[in-house]
Amino acid sequence: MRLQGEHDNAVGGYKSRFPLFDSGFVAASLDEIESRDFDPDLAQKDDGSLFKFNTSYVFNEDLNAYFTISEGFRIGGGNGGGECDPYDPDAAQGNCNLAPGQQFGPGPDDFAEFDERSYGPDTTRNHELGVKSRWLDGSLTLNGAIYYIKWEDNQLSSATVNASIPITINANGAESKGLEATFNWNATDNLNLRGSFSQTTSELSKDVPSLIRTITPPGFGADFIDGSAGDRLPGSPENQVSLSATYYQSLSNDAELTYSGDFAWQSDILSRTGGLGGSYTLPSFGVANARITYLTNDWTVTAYVNNVFDKFAETGVQSTPLINQTVDGATVRSFVTNLLRPRTIGLRFTYSFEEW
């Protein structure tokens, strides 16, 4: 990408003009934006009903099983960009959003695969089979479930053909399946132990043409990569584990000391569907916390240490490592990761005032 002028985009060989690199760019005023005609194709209206069915069977007072089918719904929205003008091979195309099927380049396949201007609602149908149980005279609770979620018109992150601005689109379907288990054990009158485990597989169930916008180094040429059925969805770990313990100590002055600690671990996370197009993988990590609380009838003091072992971990990502380039004097470093807060030690005081 050049500091000024035009950028040759690899999609169809057309040219795009980018405001941040073009000194001649002039943004539209609010009055100009307000005066633009409204496209009725962007209007969204939906109605319908959501279904839920649940049944359970009680084997005895300590064991029961349940089965649930339910539906979910999430509204659509706009992607916030102006619609592209009709394709002109002699004009530079700036930041804009294509309508479905709209031409954007000279090639025979240079037509928009999906609507970049807005995205519609998505729906889920959820199936869950689980058990709830008590053991050891009720001191131990064990719960578990398996589930399957079918996702229609699922909303996924993509990017515009022109200027590669992040947008949301509707894919052709996905599915999630997995299991989860929890326990809560009052091991003694003073000690409580808790834990959970979950395993989830979330992936596309159908192909999605032109889903992933990627960069083609050297330079900032752009291209699309198709999503395929079976590609893992981004944004969440496949496995998670948590454990915690709390010990209660009564004192002679009717106060109480509480010692507690917890540890949570998660597996890696993809930043893009299927790990495609310069996706970044956030590595797995675990973090531990500890607290001591002194509790009276009127006030409480808690000393805490978060991230006890000062674990360094990446918790989120923006952009892609492919953009870390210097081309024609333009250095771009918008790729960043968010980090877990380092070890934090603190003291918290709470006082409860009597009512007047």
User: What are the beta bridge partners of residue 300?
Assistant: 295, 350
Q: Which residues contact 47 (CB under 8 A, 6 or more apart)?
A: none
Q: Is residue 35 part of a domain?
A: yes
The Cα–Cα gap between 118 and 168 comes to: 8
Whether residue 124 contacts residue 71, with contact meaning beta carbons closer than 8 Å, is answered with yes
Residue that is written with structure tokens 């330079």 in the block: 219
The Cα–Cα gap between 3 and 7 comes to: 9
Task: Indicate the pLDDT class of residue 11, thresholds 50, 70 and 90.
Answer: very low
The Cα–Cα gap between 4 and 289 comes to: 50
Q: Tokens standing for 147?
A: 């589930």
- Per residue in 217-270, pLDDT (tens digit) is 887 777 889 999 999 999 999 999 999 999 999 998 889 999 999 999 999 999
Q: Is residue 183 part of a domain?
A: yes
Q: Is residue 181 part of a domain?
A: yes
Structural domain of residue 33, as residue ranges? 7-351
- Per residue in 120-168, pLDDT (tens digit) is 999 999 999 999 999 999 999 999 999 999 999 999 988 888 877 889 9
pTM of the model: 0.82
The Cα–Cα gap between 17 and 21 comes to: 8
Q: How many domains does the chain divide into?
A: 1
Angle at 293 between CA 290 and CA 297, to 5 degrees: 160
Mean pLDDT of the chain: 88
Better-scored residue on pLDDT, 178 or 253:
178
Rounded to the nearest 5°, which phi and psi values hold at 274?
A: 70, 5
Name the nearest CA neighbour of 160 among 75, 44, 218, 81: 81
Given a cut of 60, is residue 2 above it in pLDDT? no
pLDDT of amino acid 9: 45
The Cα–Cα gap between 236 and 229 comes to: 18
Q: Is residue 2 part of a domain?
A: no
Q: Tokens standing for 21?
A: 């690199």
Q: Is residue 356 part of a domain?
A: no
Task: Indicate the pLDDT class of residue 93, thresholds 50, 70 and 90.
Answer: low
Q: Which residues contact 56 (CB under 8 A, 6 or more apart)?
A: 64, 65, 66, 67
Whether residue 149 contacts residue 175, with contact meaning beta carbons closer than 8 Å, is answered with yes
Q: Is residue 77 part of a domain?
A: yes
Better-scored residue on pLDDT, 229 or 215:
229
Q: Is residue 300 part of a domain?
A: yes
Q: Is residue 313 part of a domain?
A: yes
Amino acid residing at 67: F
pLDDT of amino acid 220: 75
User: What are the beta bridge partners of residue 123?
Assistant: 73, 152
Amino acid residing at 202: S
Better-scored residue on pLDDT, 6 or 323:
323
Alpha carbon 161 to its chain's center: 23
Task: Indicate the pLDDT class of residue 356, thresholds 50, 70 and 90.
Answer: low
Alpha carbon 275 to its chain's center: 14
